[in-house]
A and B are shown apart, each in its own frame.
Chain A
């Protein structure tokens, strides 16, 4: 069965439209920077809290010989 020229043309235009939609969704040229694993503030806060906890423990030991 032969497709009419109009149908062939419309199918071709539809394929182009689908390709266009896909290209809008996928744009590999945009460079995505890597995620931040941990902030300096989080690491500093962990160090501060660990040091303070150790100091408290030391003081408690001194008070209860």
Chain B
């Protein structure tokens, strides 16, 4: 009887240590908040640059729709990538709220971090097609690394 109880205690201790070394809520929230702030900073840098570029492109190509569309394409692709990143931030927020409410969603949360990391990589690629993108590049790479660590080997189910 005592042996069985000792085994039970060992099981509980292992469960506790597993939780302690797994995804930590505080850390997950901190990275979410940093991710959100980085996206807002990137948005603040990117938007006026896009608006200025569009004015120049529109002025130079008032009746040349094909040229206008071609020159605007990388800017609009970057907007789409930023939108995707923003949507992953919302998904992450929802998962964290569910976790705080007591749901067993550690795995779901890890995959949302993986999706966010993928989205940031796509954002970096989109910014790479734009002129003068060094500030945006640095911000997105820094957060991508943190998101990848928190995803803990999980992959984003949506490709």
Residues of A within 8 A of B (CB): 6-7, 10, 13-14, 17-18, 20-21, 24-28, 30-36, 38-42, 44-45, 48-49, 52, 56, 59
Contacts and interface: CB of A to CB of B under 8 A. Distances in A.
B93 interface: yes
Given A26-B25, A39-B39, A56-B65, 15 more contacts: A6-B2, A21-B15, A27-B26, A30-B29, A30-B30, A31-B33, A32-B32, A33-B33, A33-B36, A36-B90, A39-B43, A39-B79, A44-B47, A48-B54, A52-B68
Contacts of B1: 7
- Per DSSP, chain A at the interface is helix
Contacts of B94: 35
Given A44-B47, A52-B58, A56-B65, A39 B25 contact: no
Contact of B39 (A7, A36, A44): A36
B100 A32 contact: yes
